[in-house]
């Protein structure tokens, strides 16, 4: 009697686990698909062509993407969330949101690539990454789950167009503890938490 009952419980548990995994995979696929449309819309914001409204990414869908923080960086949510995570993990949510805004501002600017992943990886082909974490030679896998979950939620809002840009259109930023030579060439737009934000005086990317 007991062996049959145990076997039945194990079978039900296994089936439930498979169902949850399938649902999570479907949510991730939906999020990635929506993100492609949303980044295309964001990248064409400077165009006079009116884009149709895109369906927003839900919280559950965004969290289903790259759950272990080990996926290749080849979709908008993963690239944006990983950039937010590595540039500002441990900082206030406002700082993390500001990093997301810089990425999205670059995406919408004609002087930068037209996808989130290309923006994040920009410059690596010349050995001079715009976002240093991308080519610092260290693993890009996530180390802490909680801040990465926050980063994915911020990435979701950024792609949905639901973030307030506290950087005032910044295309560049740096930590307060460093003073890069390029900062003197740009107009400072904001100071938030641990970061200073800039954009070119005449709007051209460099």
Spell out the residues 6+ positions from residue 18 whose beta carbon is closer than 8 angstroms to its own. none
Separation between Cα atoms, residue 79 and residue 74, nearest integer Å? 7
Count of C-beta atoms within a 10 Å radius of residue 206: 9
Q: What is the pLDDT along the chain (206 residues), one digit of tens a residue?
A: 556 655 554 555 555 555 667 788 999 999 999 999 999 999 987 543 445 567 999 999 999 999 999 999 999 999 999 999 999 999 999 999 999 999 999 999 999 999 999 999 987 666 678 788 888 888 999 999 999 999 999 999 999 999 999 999 999 999 998 888 888 999 999 999 999 999 998 756 65
For residues 120 and 80, the answer to whether their CB atoms sit within 8 Å is yes
Count of C-beta atoms within a 10 Å radius of residue 153: 17
Per-residue exposure over 182-199, b if at least 16 CB sit within 10 Å of its own CB, e if not: eeeebeebbebbbbbbbb
Separation between Cα atoms, residue 78 and residue 81, nearest integer Å? 5
Q: What is this structure's pTM?
A: 0.84
Q: Which of 157, 19, 43, 20 lies closest to 100 in space, CA to CA?
A: 157
The CA-based angle 104-198-193, given to 5 degrees, is 85
Place of tokens 């107009």: 187
């Amino acid at each position: 009697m007991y062996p049959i009952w145990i076997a039945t419980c194990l079978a039900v548990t296994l089936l439930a686990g498979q169902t949850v995994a399938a649902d999570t995979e479907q949510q991730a696929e939906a999020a990635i698909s929506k993100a492609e449309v949303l980044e295309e819309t964001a990248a064409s914001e400077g165009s006079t062509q009116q884009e149709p409204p895109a369906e927003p990414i839900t919280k559950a869908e965004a969290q289903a993407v790259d759950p272990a923080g080990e996926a290749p960086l080849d979709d908008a949510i993963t690239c944006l969330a990983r950039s937010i995570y590595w540039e500002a993990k441990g900082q206030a949510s406002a700082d993390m949101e500001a990093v997301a805004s810089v990425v999205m501002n670059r995406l919408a600017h004609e002087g930068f690539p037209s996808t989130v992943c290309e923006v994040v990886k920009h410059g690596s082909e010349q050995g001079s990454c715009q976002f240093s974490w991308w080519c610092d030679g260290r693993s890009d896998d996530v180390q802490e789950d909680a801040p990465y979950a926050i980063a994915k939620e911020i990435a979701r809002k950024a792609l949905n167009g639901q973030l307030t840009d506290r950087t005032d259109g910044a295309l560049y930023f740096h930590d307060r503890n460093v003073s890069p030579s390029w900062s003197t060439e740009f107009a400072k737009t904001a100071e938030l938490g641990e970061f200073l934000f800039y954009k070119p005086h005449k709007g051209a990317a460099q």
